Amino acid sequence: MTRLAVATLNAGKVREFQEALGTAFELVTAAEAGVGAFPDETGASYEENALIKAGHVAAASGLPALADDSGLEVDALGGAPGVYTARFGGPGLTDGERMAHLLQRLRHVPDPARTARFVCVIVLATPAGAVEAFRGVSEGRILQGPRGAGGFGYDPIFGSNELGLSFAEAGIAQKRRVSHRGRALAAFREWAASPEGAAVLTDTTRRDVEE
Task: Give the active site residues.
Answer: 69
Which residues are bridge partners to 1 per DSSP? none
**Whole-angstrom distance, CA of residue 177 vs CA of residue 5:** 24
Could you give the count of Cα atoms lying within 13 Å of 201 in the half-sphere of its Cβ? 22
**Whole-angstrom distance, CA of residue 57 vs CA of residue 65:** 6
Give just the sign of the alpha carbon dihedral 206, 208, 210, 211.
negative
Rg over alpha carbons for the chain, rounded to the nearest Å, is: 18
Q: Within 10 A of 45 (CB to CB), how many other CB atoms are there?
A: 14
State the angle between helix axes of 11-21 and 180-192 in degrees (0 to 180), rounded to the nearest 10: 60
